[in-house]
Structure 1
Amino acid sequence: MLVTFKSKAAGEVTMYQEHARRLLDLLHKDVSRGVITAAETGPALAILEKEVAGSRLHPSTGELEHDVHVHHGENGDDAGHEPAATVTFAARAYPLMEMLRAASQGNNDILWGV
């Protein structure tokens, strides 16, 4: 399932629900429907920036292990697949963080699930 973030300050940002959930859990928001008010955009951005900085210090290996398991058999053969590549937390968070910056500057809310 997809989650689409909307704001008058920026174009829509769409991401898979599982990725949006990780971001929204940090902000104590429900993934199915919600709002980040204009007043909340600055603190929300600070929370995500802190998490991005931490994720760069301690990259997650869980996603990489999952990709390797999916693309490679139990015996380790690669079945002709490209090497597994991961999308970092920072890369996933970037579009929403840019929307938060624009919403903060324009004093706009961010909505999803509506």
Structure 2
Amino acid sequence: MLVKFTSSTSGQIMMFAPVARQLLDIVGKECTARGVITTEQLPEAIERLRLAAAAASSTPSPATEDATASEDSASEAESARVGLGQRAYPLIEILEWTRTEDGFVLWEAASDF
């Protein structure tokens, strides 16, 4: 399922529900079919997402389960992995743009997720 985030001032983005759920949980929002991040909530939401992204990038990744894999293939797999910071970046950006113009961000999905 897709979740669409729409800014009142700067456009929209879409993401898959599991990623949206993870980011909305960080922000402290319930994953209902529709919701809003108000103008007053934007600074705290941005700060929480930035802190979570920074913490995720500083956390060492789990060891490769295949003990026989070479270091080259392990580093290739790690570089192909998309981290929380990369997933959060589009939402952080739309929240930042919306904050500069005193707007709000709505999200919408087909159902609760």
Give the TM-score of the pair, scaled to structure 2: 0.76
The answer to whether the Cα contact below 8 Å between 1:38 and 1:108 also exists between their aligned partners in 2 is: yes
Alpha-carbon distance change, 54 to 110 in structure 1, aligned in 2, over 3 angstroms: same
Distance in 2 between residues matched to 1:35 and 1:59, nearest whole Å: 33
Percent identical: 37
- Give structure 1 stretches of 5+ with no counterpart: 69-75, 77-82
SS at match of 2:81: coil
Distance in 1 between residues matched to 2:61 and 2:22, nearest whole Å: 13
Aligned length: 98
Please state how far the C-alpha of 1:30 moved relative to its aligned partner: 2.1
SS at match of 1:113: strand
Give the TM-score of the pair, scaled to structure 1: 0.76
Question: In structure 2, what is the equivalent of residue 12 of structure 1?
Answer: 12
Distance in 2 between residues matched to 1:60 and 1:38, nearest whole Å: 35
Distance in 2 between residues matched to 1:15 and 1:61, nearest whole Å: 25
Question: In structure 2, what is the equivalent of residue 37 of structure 1?
Answer: 38
Distance in 1 between residues matched to 2:53 and 2:92, nearest whole Å: 10
Q: Deviations over 1:33-89 (max 9, x none)?
A: 210001110110001111111011115549x87xx9xxxxxxx8xxxxxx6421111
Query: Which aligned pairs between 1:16-95 and structure 2 lie closer than 5 A?
Result: 16-31=16-31, 32-61=33-62, 84=77, 85-95=80-90
Decide which moves more: 31-40 or 17-26. Answer: 31-40
Higher relative contact order by CA 8 Å / sep ≥ 6: 1 or 2?
Answer: 2
Q: Deviations over 1:3-48 (max 9, x none)?
A: 0000122221100000000000111212232100011101100011
Please, which of 89, 96, 103 is the counterpart of residue 98 of structure 2? 103
Please list every run of at least 4 consecutive aligned residues from structure 1 whose deviation after the TM superposition is greater than 6 angstroms. Answer: none
- Give structure 2 stretches of 5+ with no counterpart: 70-75
The answer to whether the Cα contact below 8 Å between 1:9 and 1:99 also exists between their aligned partners in 2 is: no
Q: CA RMSD in A?
A: 2.2
